[in-house]
A and B are shown apart, each in its own frame.
Chain A
Amino acid sequence: MNSIVQNILVFTTLAFALAFIVRKFIWRPKKASTKACGNDGCGCS
C-alpha cells in the first residue's frame, strides 16, 4: 500500500516537473499583444 502511494506521488511530481520544463522551453503560451499601442485600431498588429 505504502509502495503504491509513494509511486503515485513520484509519478505526479514527475508529471509536474515535465509539464513545467515543456512549458518553459518548448511550448510557451502566446501573449495577446506585442506592442503597447492601446485598445483602438492604431495600426500595429
Chain B
Amino acid sequence: MSKQIKVALIGNPNTGKTSVFNALTGLNQKVGNYPGITVDKKQGVSKLNDDVKANIIDLPGTYSLNASSLDENVVIELLLNKNDKDFPDVAIVVTDVENLKRNLLLYTQIKDLEIPTILAINMSDRMQRKGISLDIPILEKALKTKIALISSRKNTGIDELKQLITNYENLSTEPCLDASVIDKSYFEGLQKAFPNQLLYKLWLVITQDVNFGKVDKKTIDSVSEFKTKSESDLKRLQQKETIKRYQFINETLKKGQTIDPNAATDLRSRLDRVLTHKVWGYIIFAAILLLMFQAVYDWAAYPTDLIDASFASLADWTKENLPEGAFTNLLAEGIIAGIGGIMVFIPPIAFLFLFIALLEESGYMSRVVFLMDRVMRRFGLSGKSVVPLISGNACAIPAVMAARNIESWKERLITILVTPFTTCSARLPVYVIIIALVIPKGTFAGISYQALTLMSLYIIGFLTAVFAAYILNKILKIKSKSYFVIEMPNYKLPLFKNVAITVIEKTKSFVFEAGKIILAISVVLWFLASYGAGEQFNNAEEIVAKEFPNLSETDLEDKIAAHKLEHSYIGVVGKTIEPVIKPLGYDWKIGIGLVTSFAAREVFVGTLATIYSVGSASDSEDEETIKSKMAAEVHADGKKVFTFASGISLLLFYAFAMQCMSTLAIVKRETNSWKWPMLQLVVMSGFAYLVALVAFQFLNK
C-alpha cells in the first residue's frame, strides 16, 4: 500500500495557487463544500512516486491569518486543529515572485504554527523580464525552509516541488518570529496559563475568536491567572505583530532578492492607465460586455439548435418505434422533452463561463472590480459586487456564492438580495419564446425589435438590482465596516487548462444540479397532465364526440386531448388559480407554467411544451409547433391568449419574480437564515405581480 501525505495548498489570491493545484493533480480532483458552509473545498491526488501519493487540498486564497471573510476563516480553522481529518502533514505556501514581500506575511504566520512548510515561488518565468534575481540558499536559510522555484504556466519546477513534498519530514518546524516579542509580559502570562500550548496558536485564538482542541477564546478569558486585553489593545498588538513580521521580511529580502528596475519592461502600468481610466475604462468594459453577450447568443445558437432538433427527433423516434402505451408517452413527452430542456442550456452557459473565466484568468476582472467600485459604492454595493452581478447573467446560484469575498456583511447581504434581479440564463428561453410571439419583426437602426426587447430586459434586470440595492442600503440598519482591498494581478494569457476546468465544472454543476430538478418536475407534470379523476376526464371521448359530431378524425383527436387536459389533475390546479392570474392576462395553462417555474424558471417552456403536447394529438414537438400552438391559443371569448399586452406582462413578471427554489435555498445557506430568502420571495414576486398587472391593464386598453 502506498504512503499518503496530506498537503495543504495555501497562498494569497492571484498567486497562481489554483494553477499549481491543477499542475500537481491534473484531473484527479473533486470540488465539495466545507462542512456547514458553502465555501468550495477543492481536493485532488498527486502521485509523487511509485510509493507515495499526496492528497492535496486547495484552501481558499487568503492574505493573512487575520481573517476578514468566510473563506479566510476556513484556512485558520483547518490549520489550528490537529484533529481535523484534513489537517496537513505539510503546507505549501504559494507566492508570486513579483509580490514576494506581501506574500511572505502569510508564510511567516503559517511557519509560526510549527507546521512543516514549503515555500513555492511561482511565476518564476517572469523574473528575467521584471529584472528580479533571487539567492535561493540565502532565502532558504533565513526563512528556515526549502524553496521550490516554479512556473505553473511553463510547468517548470513542479517535479522539484513534488520531491520536496515527498521529503517533508526533513523540513524544519522552527518558527520565523518569536511571538513573545510582540509584548513580552502579556505573552509570558499567556504561556504561563497554558504551558503546553503553542504561543502563536493561543494568540490566534484570542484575536480571531477561533478554537482548537479544547481551547477557545472563552476558555482563555476565563482563566483567572491570565488577564486578557481590551479589543483596541489587542488590535494594537496585532498591528505590532504585522510590523515585526514585515521587518523580518524586509531584512530577509534585502539579503536574498535583488530587483533591477532598468532590466524590467513594464506594459502593465500602461495598460492599467487605460483600462481603469474614468472614461475609457467604462467604454472598454461596456464594449467587452456587448461583445460577450453578442458572442454568447450568436455562437451558442448553433449547438443549441442542433441539440434541440436532436431531442425532438429522438422523441418522435421513440413514439414511432416503441410499443404504444403510457410509458412510451412518458418517455417521449416527459423524459426526453425534459432532458432536452436541460441540454439546450449547456451551450449558452458554457460560453458565458468561458468568457468570465477568460476575463478572470487574464487579470482584467480585477480592473473591472476596481473600476466599478466607484459606481457601486453610491448604491450601497461594493466593487466586488460586480462579479456576482455579472455571474448572475448565467445563474444566480454561483453568483450568490461569489458574494462571499465581499468583506462588509451589509454589502454582501445587499449583493445576495439583489443578484436574482439580474437576467439569469433560465429566463432566456422564456424571453425568447414570448418575444417571438408578441414582438413584431422589423428593425430599428439595423437592430431588430426583438433583439432590442431582449436587451431592454437585461438592462431592466440590472437597473432594478442597482435600484433595489440603493433602497436596501437606506433601509437596512446593519453596522459593518466598509473597506475595499483588491489584488491587481499581472496581465497574463489565460491558461487553457484552467479555463477548460472552470467551464467543465460550472456546466457539469448546472446539468447535474438544476438538470435533475427539471427532469423530476417534467415527469410529475407529464403525469398530472395525462391523468385525472371524474366523469369529464374518464369519458372525454364520448363527451367531445357528442358535442362536436361533424369534426374530422384529427380535429376530434385534438379536441379530446384538449378536453382531457382541461380536466386532468393539472388542469384542475390551473383552473383553481386562474382567478388570481386573470387580471394579468394569463389563462390557466400559463398559470401552471408560473406555478412550476417557482421550482426553476426554465421549467416554464418545458411545462408549456408538456401541456401543449399532451393537450394535442400531434406528435411533433419542435419549437415552431409549440410557438404556433401558443399563438393559436384563445380564451373562451375567442380573444388571443398571447397578445402584446399579455406577452409584455409575462416578460415583466419573469424579469422580477423570485422563481427559483435553488436560489432561495442557497440564499438561506449563505445568510444562515430563512428571513432573507422569504423576504426575497415575497417582495420580488409581489413586485412582479404588481408590475405585470399594471402593464397588462395599461396596454390592454
Q: Is the interface of A mostly helix, strand, loop or mixed?
A: helix
Whether B527 pairs with A10 at a CB distance below 8 angstroms is yes
Shortest CB distance A30–B (Å): 11
CA distance A28 to B81 in the complex (A): 29
User: Which of B231-239, B321-329, B375-383, B559-567 contacts the other chain?
Assistant: B321-329
**Which residues of chain B come closer than 8 Å to A38, judged between CB atoms?**
81-84, 87, 212-213
Interface centre among A3, A9, A13, by most B CB within 10 Å? Answer: A13
CA gap between A7 and B527 in the complex, in Å = 11
A20-B520, A40-B83, A43-B211 known; A3 vs B77 contact (CB < 8 Å)? no
How distant is the Cα of A17 from the Cα of B516 in the complex, in angstroms? 9
A39: chain B residues at CB < 8 Å are: 83, 85
Of the candidates B35, B214, B327, B665, the one having the most CB atoms from chain A within 10 angstroms of its own CB is: B327
**Interface of chain A residues 5 through 45 with chain B (CB within 8 A):** 5-7, 9-10, 13-14, 16-18, 20-21, 24-25, 31, 33-44
Once A25-B661, A36-B35, A36-B78 are accepted as A-B contacts, the answer to whether A10 and B330 lie under 8 Å apart by CB is yes
The docked-state distance in angstroms from the alpha carbon of A6 to that of B87 is 53
Q: Which residues of A are found within 8 Å of B83, using beta-carbon distances? A: 38-40, 42
8 Å CB interface, B205-242 against A? 211-214, 216, 218-219
CA distance A25 to B212 in the complex (A): 35
Which residues of chain B have C-beta atoms less than 8 A from A40's C-beta? 83, 213-214
Nearest-neighbor residue (CB-CB) of A33 within chain B: B35
How many Cβ-Cβ contacts under 8 Å join chain A to chain B?
98
| Chain A contacts for B36, CB-based, 8 A | 31, 33-36
Q: How many chain A residues touch the partner (CB < 8 A)?
A: 29
Chain A residue nearest to B36 in the complex (CB) = A34
**Distance between Cα atoms of A6 and B74 in the complex (Å):** 51
Q: Chain B residue with minimal CB distance to A11?
A: B527
* B524 at interface, CB cutoff 8 A: yes
Contact A7 B323 (CB under 8 A): no
Is A13 within 8 A of B82, CB to CB?
no
Our pick among B211, B527, B661 for the contact of A42 (Cβ within 8 Å) is B211
B599 CB contacts on chain A under 8 angstroms: 21, 25
Chain B 508-524 per-residue mask, 1 if CB under 8 angstroms from chain A, else 0: 00000000110111011
Q: Is the CB of B35 within 8 A of A31?
A: yes
Q: Which residues of B contact A37 (CB under 8 A)?
A: 77, 81, 84, 211
> B34: CB under 8 A from chain A?
yes
Question: Which residues of the other chain, B, contact A44 by a CB distance below 8 angstroms?
Answer: 211, 216
Q: Is the CB of B524 within 8 A of A18?
A: yes
Interface string of B308-345 (1 = CB under 8 A from A): 00000000000000010111101000010000000000
Chain B residues within 8 Å of A, Cβ to Cβ: 34-36, 74, 77-78, 81-87, 211-214, 216, 218-219, 323, 325-328, 330, 335, 516-517, 519-521, 523-524, 527, 599, 661, 665
Q: List 25 A-B contacts (CB under 8 A).
A: A2-B323, A2-B325, A3-B325, A5-B327, A6-B325, A6-B328, A7-B325, A10-B326, A13-B523, A16-B520, A18-B524, A21-B520, A21-B521, A24-B516, A25-B665, A34-B35, A36-B74, A36-B81, A37-B84, A38-B82, A38-B212, A39-B83, A42-B211, A43-B218, A44-B211
Given contacts A16-B523, A17-B523, A44-B211, 4 further A-B contacts (CB under 8 A): A7-B325, A21-B520, A24-B517, A40-B213
